[in-house]
Amino acid sequence: MKRLYCVRMDTKPLTSHEPARYRLLLQGRLSADWNDWLTDFVVAYEGEGQLVVTTITGTVRDQAGLFGLLSYVRDLGVPLIAVEWIN
């Protein structure tokens, strides 16, 4: 699955110190244990078998929060496919 993303800046610009919504795509299916940690996020799955993609969508408080979430994903050992800023 390849996607091409184009960031539109015709709305409020992104800043490093304000809340923002993001969508993360991960290869594989997260276990139900992680849903407790991701309570403020919507977790969805697409595909079957080894081709499952997990989508995590939600708001983080700032860029530091985003990097914390990315560190957590890294520690899961799940391949990160994409990170998308959602206006």
DSSP 8-state symbol, 28: S
Encode pLDDT of 29-72 as tens digits: 887 777 677 778 898 999 988 899 999 999 999 999 999 999 98
Pick the CATH number of 20-86 from 3.40.50, 2.30.30, 2.60.40, 3.30.70: 3.30.70
- The predicted structure's pLDDT at residue 45: 92
Q: Is the pLDDT of residue 80 over 90?
A: yes
Decide which of 84 and 32 is more confident: 84
CA 49 to CA 83: how far, in whole Å? 22
pLDDT score of 14: 81
User: What is the value of pTM for the model shown?
Assistant: 0.78
Mean pLDDT of 74-84: 92
Domain boundaries, the chain: 20-86
Task: Calculate ∠ Cα 9-10-13, nearest 5°.
Answer: 50
